[in-house]
Amino acid sequence: MRAALLREVDGPFELADLPDPDAEGRVVVRVRAAGVNFADILIRRGRYPQMPELPAVLGTEVAGELDDGTRVMAITPGSGGYAENVAVERAQVVALPEHATFAEGASFLLTFLTAYIPLTRQVRLRPDAVVLVHAAAGGVGTAAVQVARSLGARVIAAAGSTEKLDLCRELGAAEAYVYDEIPDHLRVDVVVDPVGGALFERALGRLRPLGTLIAIGFAAGMWPEIDPANLVGRNVGIDGFYLGRLLRHEPEVVGEAVGELLALWQAGALRPVVGAEIPLAEVDRAHELVESRTSVGKVVLVP
């Protein structure tokens, strides 16, 4: 089978002919679409905390078909998704809704679970809550805007460039700003932060009493050191969320959330945003789109 192999940190991907994966008690998915996630970018740049051994086939999210033609989507922990075939634990395979395309299927599980579980299991969203979402036009961001909206919150979207703001409003944000133009006086109950760095620190200052900053990622750089005294004194908190660990240690929590999200998708309350579909052979271009901050929604590879 054809697969995109990463041989070394910072290297280009190589389209290689590899043996088909051994099922070994798992099911083999014929990949029709593979999601590009920011973790793949971090791995390629050697910045991911749990680096796989290289060479490796990256990609932790796919949609495709089983041998009997069943349409499925799946998270593939430990990678392997940037390929024509990938072996997946049966428990990780979820039926793709009839109305969904493969590209949408490869854009759903990882981003929506990452937005939905903290917003429903970690924070308590009052009906009139105000939620600020950073990188709101990105993969996790477009999911978070829609999830927070569907839970009844007033959503403020923030992104790196003005071109991204219309999409945020279309998805249900009441207001949308580029980061430097977020009004100084804005105070919020919850921040969903996939960005980290200086933006994370600034967002902490925007929390109302009893507010929570949900730390999801560090696309812009590592988190600053935070003194708990600053949290205690202001009645605010930081919650961390990492889907990979939850999948390993609390799979039933993730399974329950998948069921709830599928119901919301079927009801039309959510939709995965596919920003670009790119042939697997052009995986370098797909990574460039995400890394240069020009992508919106999810970038998907088509083998």
Ligand X SMILES: NC(=O)c1ccc[n+]([C@@H]2O[C@H](COP(=O)([O-])OP(=O)(O)OC[C@H]3O[C@@H](n4cnc5c(N)ncnc54)[C@H](OP(=O)(O)O)[C@@H]3O)[C@@H](O)[C@H]2O)c1
Using CB under 6 A, which of 176, 195, 204, 301 touches ligand X? 195
Q: At what angle do helices 109-117 and 251-266 cross, to 10 degrees?
A: 110
Neighbouring C-beta atoms of residue 21, cutoff 10 Å: 19
**Which residues pair with residue 74 across a beta bridge?**
62, 93
Binding mask 1-40 for ligand X (x = CB under 6 A): ------------------------------------xxx-
**Residue 173 or 216 with smaller CB distance to ligand X:** 216
Query: Which range touches ligand X (CB under 6 A), out of 144-152, 168-176, 240-248, 262-270?
Result: 240-248
Q: Is 49 exposed, middle or buried (0-12, 13-18, 19+ CB in 10 A)?
A: exposed
Question: Given the complex with ligand X, which of 79 and 111 has the nearer CB atom?
Answer: 111
Size of the site for ligand X (CB under 6 A): 29
The answer to whether 274 touches 300, Cβ cutoff 8 Å, is yes
Site for ligand X in 254-273 (CB under 6 A): none
User: Interface with ligand X includes 141 (CB under 6 A)?
Assistant: yes
Q: Does 164 bind ligand X (CB under 6 A)?
A: yes
**Other CB atoms within 10 Å distance of the CB of residue 122:** 14
* Residues in contact with ligand X, shown as a per-residue x/- string from 49 to 88 under the rule CB under 6 A: ----------------------------------------
Q: DSSP letters along 101-154, please? A: -HHHHTTTHHHHHHHHHIIIIIS---TT-EEEETTTTSHHHHHHHHHHHHTT-E
Q: For residue 177, what are the contacts with CB-CB under 8 A and spacing of at least 6?
A: 156, 157, 158, 159, 165, 183
Q: CB of 209 within 8 A of CB of 234?
A: yes
Of 206, 174, 179, 169, whose CA–CA distance to 191 is shortest? 206
Contact range with ligand X by CB under 6 A, out of 12-20, 184-192, 241-249, 261-269: 241-249
- Shortest separation between residue 152's beta carbon and ligand X, angstroms: 23
CA 105 from chain center: how many Å?
A: 13
Residue 220 in contact with ligand X, rule: CB under 6 A:
yes
Choose the stretch contacting ligand X; rule: CB under 6 A; options: 1-9, 26-34, 204-212, 215-223: 215-223
- Burial (Cβ within 10 Å: 0-12, 13-18, ≥19) of residue 247: middle
Q: How far is 273 from 296, CA to CA, in rounded Å?
A: 8
Stretch that binds ligand X, among 17-25, 59-67, 99-107, 160-168 (CB under 6 A): 160-168
**Cβ nearer to ligand X, comparing 94 with 220:** 220
Closer to ligand X by Cβ: residue 5 or 159: 159
Query: Which residue of 81, 160, 172, 272 would you call a contact of ligand X, by CB under 6 A?
Result: 160
- Between 85 and 218, CB nearer to ligand X: 218
Based on CB atoms, which residue is closest to ligand X, 55 or 221? 221
Rg of the chain (C-alpha set): 19
Which residues in this chain contact ligand X in the complex, by CB under 6 A?
Answer: 37-39, 110-111, 114, 135, 137-141, 159-161, 164, 194-195, 216-220, 241-243, 290, 293, 295
